[in-house]
Structure 1
Amino acid sequence: MSDIQGFGRRFTAVSAALTFILPVCAPAIEFDGGIVNGNVDTTVSFGAISRVQGRDSSIVCIANGGTAYGCNADDGNLNYDTGMVSQVWKAISDIEVNHESGNMGAFFRVKAFMDTRNNSRTETKRTDLSKKAKQLVGEDVDVLDAYGWFRFNMADRPAEVRLGKHTLNWGESSFISGGINAINPMDFSALRAPGMELREALLPVTMVSGSVDPTNNLSVEGFYQLEWDQMMFEPTGSYFNTFDNETALHMGWGFTAENAMSVPRGADNSPDDSGQWGVAMRYFAEGMNSTEFGLYFMNYHSRTPVISGTASAGTPMAPIPPKNYFLEYPEDIQLFGASFNTNLGLWALQGEYSYKHDLPLQIDDAEFLVAGLGPVNAPNQVGTFGANDYVRGYILRDVSQLQATATRIFSDVMWAHQFVFVAEVGLTHVHGMPDKDDLRLEGSGTFASGNPLHRNLGKLSSPITESSDHFPDATSWGYQLIGEWTYANAFMGANLSPHAAFRHDVGGVSPVGWTGNFIEGSKAATVGVTATYKQAWAADISYTSFFGGGRYNLLNDRDYVAFNLKYSF
């Protein structure tokens, strides 16, 4: 009926992951005022994305000219024909201010951008971008980081405290999301933009954090957040968006116009700013092959939304859709984690395990929307509800995630000065997963109902019964491969770095609405080349293709070419 794919899809554009190993230009302007000194590091860039693939009718709503049994996932697809879909002018400045003692300072990061394609109402072909959408993908100026830090001794051991908007990176994951690194929400809209940088991936949050080294081999770190913030997903109508949730959900199984048989959106239920904290402990075991071990705990509120609703006041003779739906962010998810980082011969190895207690997982939207028909008591697997009753659209389950990464630098590969290879594999397991005959969770592209009883709901009858194979499984897994060749002084003093990336979701379907890491059979590949000159200029051109997974991979017709040019000073 709808799809909540946009709520948590991993780094689908594997080209974004390539920034993990590609060269970074790093000159800066320094200043020294005696007591205070510091530097300003600015990068200005222009980037563009061009769509090179036509629409796949199997993921476009029937009422919009396609064959899909859902109209809640195609606005972004319909808005952009082949050709240019994004042209971004951007500037990012990092400002460091330090006291001459070296014991205190401040850090600020400011970002400004304008997408000349998306900042105009006339550029989208079908649905105008809202004011909120334009702020995410059209034009904005924002202060990302803004914090002060102070270093001191605690019982003659080094310690540091930070206060303000900043990020913390915990765990050992490089590319696959949904693990230990849950402190800061991610900005998926920034990750998709041409010329993105890793420093844009995490959204800074106001918090106090601190660390201390009780011994030379042991460190302890902790944080307490002073505000809650959510993941930033591609807004409705933008090129990579796959969930049209801004104002209403459509219940017509794709046959009727989107303004008919729709459920209006109500006020979102956001969590408290308080109650989010965590601690981490890392131990460097020199006698165990110089391995670093980490243990983690945190209590946090969901960054990704789930959909719930209010039952209708319909009657058995006059059923109407639910009164409304709204987004919820359940509180007090507890995360337990462990990690390692070591070397084995010429390979750098790292890995982590995370266990999330009471993680909210989205119920198949067709199931809970039918449950919201209220007094009609339509057959469903969620429950029986009266007029205006709250209909919870999610279940709470414990979820484990295991992932490991291997990195190696080779010499003289294909005549390159060096070749960097990174491989990461991840596995997600939902403990106590309901049997699909009893209840199904939301899966990518599952527009029709998986409940055979929904074939007999009159005007609301599901046209088909969706195969249970495409709803989320208890276990799902996949991997990513990244490679970069570096040719030093290849052309007029410039370094050339061809690069390639490949992602494969091997088995199982992950629940949508949290990370949605894996959709069985889905693949993505990126090839490109980066040129850097004098550590100041960088240019990159790449091609990204999405394929596999059939109509359940909602990006399989979104192949694109990206270009960006950067100058740092």
Structure 2
Amino acid sequence: MIVSAGSSPVTNEQANEARRRSGAVLYAAAAFASAFLFSGGAHAASYQFGEMNLSIDTTVTAGVTLRASARDCTKYNTVNGGCLNGDGRGTSINSDNGNLNYGQWDFVNKTIKATMDVQGTWENYGFFLRPTAFYDHVYKENDLEFRDLSPEAKDQLDYDADILDAFVYGNWDIDGHYTTVRFGKQVLNWGESLFIQGGINAFQALDVTRIRTPGAELKDALTPMPMVFASTTITPNLSVEAFWQFAYEYTELDPAGSFFSTDDITGRGSLPGLLNAVIDNPDLANPPGTFPPNPLVPVTVQRTKDRIESETDQFGVAVRYYAEDLGDGVDFGFYGVRYTSRLPYLGFTTGPDDLASACAVVQAIVVGPACGSFGDPLNAAAFAYAAGQLKYFYSFPTIETLGASFATTVEGTTVSGELAFSPDMPFGVSDLEQNASQLDGTGASGGLLGAPGNVSSLPATGPN
């Protein structure tokens, strides 16, 4: 108990809340002051060392994000105090931590970030570096309303320093053919679609977390990928480009429990899934393979290793043609790309083939008769054991895409479009359908399908 002279007693919780709010106000003031001091956005400097030119552009931003609305009770699970909507449906217990962690007027971000663009050129060679660093006081404190972030999620959000782009390049004129080669971490934009996923440029990895940061620009969302890129002109109006990506980069999703996260089992710091839960705490649910007193207690579904189809078999070719005689001139592009999906597809592995197999496992540990009627206690143990072997994973399949694009101007207005076709494009199978497929359909005594460790009887991805 903390007592303030001349006032009523103040609890430790109230004192902590007061300090948190006063700190938030001070931070907000500092953020706005920093934004004012660095108005204009950037500082640029150029240097020359003999024949080498060096330019450095520095951008510093500071900003805050807060939640202005109260929670909608239909957007979090009834176990956590939520309510059902008009259709009698509620929100999954595996998708509400991001909502519960922040109340009305809570700060979601209190961020200071600095980014430098460093470019050097010498004759026909050059390099480009983009180091960046940030600090977010909200996640450094990690004092959230419902559940503090896991160490892995916190590490992504509290502070970090990284080098984004880092590549070297050379430009040559080879018998009238202008040629460029770049090697290293770089961003590559093909096609004309900027905001719609699944097009020609879907091979470009994104960082969703960065674009959520106050003051972020569109370029902050693009993750540089390690690759070799080359382009050359065939004629003044015709050119060819190609790339080979020699290491895999996936799209970075919002960490589990952060404000914009849409579920608790994706992103960094993902939690075990909960089935049949009456508490939202995987630490208190039964560990995999253990026997709770009955099958109605919560069962944890642990995450297992990601399944990445290929980390190096990723490449693409583009042919560009400028039709100068069409209107004001039209840029045409034709593309072929093969890459490993940047987005995850949810899948499950199952336990024993059926309830009888689960009973055999239980009987090997617990002395007792064979599982019999539905009310048999060993039936409950067998079901719990089978469910306890269930695990989830994320699959990253190979995708091939063919595409075409155009861009022109009509009376001063830019007009562009693209067409993309991905044969055998993988589409994610609903997790509910996958869960249902793990039951053999024989009723109350039904068990889980598939030999131990096998994929669910429905794959993570299906045909288009």
Same fold (TM over 0.5): yes
Give the distance between the partners of 2:453 and 2:443, measured in 1 at CA. 15
Q: Equivalent of 1:273, from 287, 304, 311? A: 311
Give the distance between the partners of 1:292 and 1:24, measured in 2 at CA. 34
Q: Equivalent of 1:388, from 453, 456, 464? A: 453
Give the distance between the partners of 1:56 and 1:69, measured in 2 at CA. 11
Quote the residue 2:275 is aligned against: 251
2:309–2:398 Cα contact (<8 Å) kept: no
Sort the Cα spacing of 1:341 and 1:322 in 2 relative to 1 into closer, same or farther, 3 A: farther
| Superposed CA offset, 1:77-96 (max 9, x none) | 00001122210010000100
Deviation at 1:249, TM superposition (A): 1.4
1:171–1:181 Cα contact (<8 Å) kept: yes
Q: Higher strand fraction: Structure 1 or Structure 2?
A: 1
Instruction: Tell me if 1:132 matches 2:152.
Output: yes
Instruction: Tell me if 1:63 matches 2:79.
Output: yes
Quote the residue 1:298 is aligned against: 337
Q: Equivalent of 1:116, from 131, 137, 143? A: 137
Quote the residue 2:424 is aligned against: 358
Give the distance between the partners of 1:169 and 1:28, measured in 2 at CA. 26
Question: Which deviates more, 362-371 or 292-301?
Answer: 362-371
Deviation at 1:307, TM superposition (A): 1.4
SS in 2 for 1:55: coil
Quote the residue 1:307 is aligned against: 346
Sort the Cα spacing of 1:370 and 1:251 in 2 relative to 1 into closer, same or farther, 3 A: farther
Instruction: Tell me if 1:152 matches 2:176.
Output: no
Sort the Cα spacing of 1:284 and 1:311 in 2 relative to 1 into closer, same or farther, 3 A: same
Deviation at 1:258, TM superposition (A): 4.5
Question: Which deviates more, 150-159 or 387-396?
Answer: 387-396
1:144–1:203 Cα contact (<8 Å) kept: yes
Give the distance between the partners of 1:66 and 1:292, measured in 2 at CA. 53
Q: Equivalent of 2:252, from 232, 239, 257? A: 232
- How do 1:1-400 residues align onto structure 2 when only pairs under 5 Å count? 25=41, 27-67=43-83, 68-83=90-105, 84-99=107-122, 101=123, 103-122=124-143, 124-245=144-265, 246-252=270-276, 256-259=279-282, 260-289=298-327, 290-313=329-352, 315=355, 317=379, 318-320=382-384, 321=387, 323-373=389-439, 384-391=449-456, 393-398=459-464
Give the distance between the partners of 1:358 and 1:151, measured in 2 at CA. 38
SS in 2 for 1:189: helix
Deviation at 1:390, TM superposition (A): 1.8
- Percent identical residues: 32
Q: Which runs of 5+ in 2 are unaligned?
A: 1-38, 84-89, 283-297, 357-378
CA-based RMSD of the aligned residues comes to: 2.2
- How do 1:472-483 residues align onto structure 2 when only pairs under 5 Å count? none
| Superposed CA offset, 1:523-544 (max 9, x none) | xxxxxxxxxxxxxxxxxxxxxx
Q: Higher helix fraction: Structure 1 or Structure 2?
A: 2
Quote the residue 1:432 is aligned against: none
Sort the Cα spacing of 1:240 and 1:69 in 2 relative to 1 into closer, same or farther, 3 A: closer
| Superposed CA offset, 1:116-139 (max 9, x none) | 0111122x1111112221232221
Quote the residue 1:425 is aligned against: none
- How do 1:489-508 residues align onto structure 2 when only pairs under 5 Å count? none
Q: What letter matches 2:273 in structure 1?
A: L
Q: What letter matches 2:407 in structure 1?
A: N
Q: What letter matches 1:80 in structure 2?
A: Y
2:308–2:340 Cα contact (<8 Å) kept: no
Deviation at 1:207, TM superposition (A): 0.5
Deviation at 1:27, TM superposition (A): 5.0
Deviation at 1:305, TM superposition (A): 0.7
Give the distance between the partners of 1:174 and 1:389, measured in 2 at CA. 39
| Superposed CA offset, 1:169-225 (max 9, x none) | 011113223211123211111111111122211111110001111111112111000
Give the distance between the partners of 2:116 and 2:347, measured in 1 at CA. 40
1:330–1:360 Cα contact (<8 Å) kept: no
Sort the Cα spacing of 1:91 and 1:27 in 2 relative to 1 into closer, same or farther, 3 A: closer
| CA radius of gyration, larger in | 2
Q: In the comparison of the two structures, how many residue pairs are matched?
A: 368
Give the distance between the partners of 1:372 and 1:142, measured in 2 at CA. 43
1:104–1:149 Cα contact (<8 Å) kept: yes
Give the distance between the partners of 1:378 and 1:308, measured in 2 at CA. 24
Q: What letter matches 1:299 in structure 2?
A: R
| Superposed CA offset, 1:302-333 (max 9, x none) | 11111112112362633232624333333331
1:310–1:372 Cα contact (<8 Å) kept: no
Question: Which deviates more, 239-248 or 125-134?
Answer: 125-134
Give the distance between the partners of 2:145 and 2:120, measured in 1 at CA. 46
SS in 2 for 1:181: helix
Give the structure, 1 or 2, with the largest relative contact order (CA under 8 Å, sep 6 or more): 1
1:209–1:221 Cα contact (<8 Å) kept: yes
1:301–1:329 Cα contact (<8 Å) kept: no
| Superposed CA offset, 1:377-404 (max 9, x none) | 669xxx9524432225423434xxxxxx
Q: What letter matches 1:328 in structure 2?
A: Y
Give the distance between the partners of 2:110 and 2:424, measured in 1 at CA. 41
Sort the Cα spacing of 1:69 and 1:53 in 2 relative to 1 into closer, same or farther, 3 A: closer
1:157–1:215 Cα contact (<8 Å) kept: yes
1:309–1:372 Cα contact (<8 Å) kept: no
Sort the Cα spacing of 1:155 and 1:52 in 2 relative to 1 into closer, same or farther, 3 A: same
Sort the Cα spacing of 1:173 and 1:192 in 2 relative to 1 into closer, same or farther, 3 A: same
